[in-house]
Structure 1
Amino acid sequence: MRFVNPKPVFNQVLCSIGLSLAMLWFYQGLIPKILFQSPAEITIWQNMGFELAFAKTLVGFSGGCEMLWGVCFLKWNRSILLHGLNIMGLAGLLLLIVLTAPLQLTAAFNPVVMNIAMLMLSVVAIQLIWQEQA
């Protein structure tokens, strides 16, 4: 009986997950926060008590942070800590939307879809890393 070494498969899948998360975070930071400043993003900050001008600044800043976070997945895609923080952060961001802008949860392509999909990519990555280390 011939056994196949799963390591190359793990490597490919982990690289795909890291690249996917990097691209998604980069897009989420650049398009709706920096280039086009989505009104929904601005509203979230305003609902937390910030004036319009400062809310726009915070949207841009958060976009930059998201882009940097995406870069982390290119560099450290095998980090259980990074994926764990991603899971907690995405769950926290989803809770923030529930509390500050619950109507966004009823729109097409809403945060529930994106956050859970990205969160699950990190769950799968952690499972693969653990399996690889076993």
Structure 2
Amino acid sequence: MPKQKQIHVERMIQAPMEKLWKYTQQPDLHQRWDLRFSSITYLPKEHTLAKQHFTYRTNIGFGFRIEGTGVSQGEKENERGERISSLSFGSEQTISLIKEGAGYWKYTPVDKGIKFETLYQYKVRFGRAGEWFDSVIFKPMIGWATAWSFDCLAKWLENDIRPEDSVRRSLLHAVLCLLMALIWIYQGLVPKLLFPETGEVALLQNSSWLSPIAEPMITLAGTIQILIGLAFLLPWKKDWLFFGAAAAMIPLGLSAIVLDPSTAVAPFNPIALNLAVAGLGVAGGLNAKNLVLARNCRRVRGKKT
């Protein structure tokens, strides 16, 4: 019998209960912040007390999409003001890894706002191959998407940052991190460690007091640049890293020109390169402020991701 896969995500949200309830229960609002769904459609009820049936669709790229159905099992509120909304869902499509599942959303009023959490379980298709794919790729991905979506919702309610803007900013952040990583790693690896004879060592040798230690200094500088580049690929807050990299361009560019003034008029000279990298750094630092991050949520009770 297939094992149940379990996902748990929790996020503190500073918003009124009714507003949070509306943004999570109304389909046209829900589908805007939840990465797991491209569209959610409520089906007509036979009567007001009937269970709420719905359909969902998730676009997975290249013209493919996963479609499924679900039903809301009910909404409960206790004497402490906690609310719970539970549901079951599933897909008959053979390309859908998830065959069926069930879970709940829980809304708990606390001093700092509302503790909004979800726990859902699901079964997968394709036997052992499906189990392996789920453990290695799908479960980490869907868990991350759930956490990212919860933080996106929080940013929308707390800071009035629209989900569409959060998606664009996250994509821009990824591009800027990749560009900065490639630039710093390339500048540290290629001209300094692999081919220092192309000009890096000669630049330092123009100074009589730096000439004796030119080669070890180039090696050290290249290593530091590679480490800075790798830092842009790590999952941590990067606004300080972007601003720091931008600020570092000023002394690096000036030192190159002081050591050899002719570099200022050469193609792809330090002035042009350093200004471009500084601009990327400033843009990245500004964009990184108040960015949606999955690690702002709890994935295991009592432990942050």
Same fold at TM > 0.5? yes
Greater strand share, structure number: 2
Quickly say closer, same or farther: Cα 1:80–1:45, change in 2 above 3 A. Answer: same
Partner SS for 2:278: helix
Percent identity between matched residues is 24
Is 1:70 aligned to residue 229 of structure 2?
A: yes
Greater helix share, structure number: 1
Write the letter of the residue equivalent to 2:195: F
Quickly say closer, same or farther: Cα 1:121–1:60, change in 2 above 3 A. Answer: same
Instruction: Name 1:51's counterpart in structure 2.
Output: 211
Instruction: Name 2:270's counterpart in structure 1.
Output: 111
Which one of the candidate residues 220, 233, 236 is aligned to 1:61? Answer: 220
* More moved, 34-43 vs 60-69: 34-43
Q: Is the 8 A contact 1:47 1:100 kept in 2?
A: yes
* More moved, 111-120 vs 34-43: 34-43
Per-residue deviation at 1:75? 1.3
Write the letter of the residue equivalent to 1:118: V
Give the alignment's TM-score, normalised by structure 1: 0.85
Per-residue deviation at 1:102? 1.4
Could you list the structure 1 runs, at least 4 aligned residues long, displaced by more than 3 angstroms after superposition: 130-133
Per-residue deviation at 1:82? 0.8
Deviations along 1:52-98, whole A, 9 cap, x unmatched?
A: 5x211211121111111100111157422111211111111011122
Partner SS for 1:89: helix
Instruction: Name 2:172's counterpart in structure 1.
Output: 13
Write the letter of the residue equivalent to 1:19: L
Quickly say closer, same or farther: Cα 1:27–1:77, change in 2 above 3 A. Answer: farther
Write the letter of the residue equivalent to 1:33: K
Unmatched 5+ stretches in structure 1:
none
Which one of the candidate residues 110, 117, 120 is aligned to 2:279? Answer: 120
Quickly say closer, same or farther: Cα 1:7–1:96, change in 2 above 3 A. Answer: same
| RCO comparison, higher one (Cα < 8 Å, 6+) | 1
Q: Is the 8 A contact 1:14 1:77 kept in 2?
A: no
Write the letter of the residue equivalent to 2:211: E
Which one of the candidate residues 88, 102, 105 is aligned to 2:261? Answer: 102
Q: Is the 8 A contact 2:240 2:285 kept in 1?
A: no
In the alignment of these two chains, the number of paired residues is 131
CA distance in 1, matches of 2:273, 2:197: 16
Give the alignment's TM-score, normalised by structure 2: 0.40
Instruction: Name 2:184's counterpart in structure 1.
Output: 25
* More moved, 118-127 vs 76-85: 76-85
Write the letter of the residue equivalent to 2:287: L
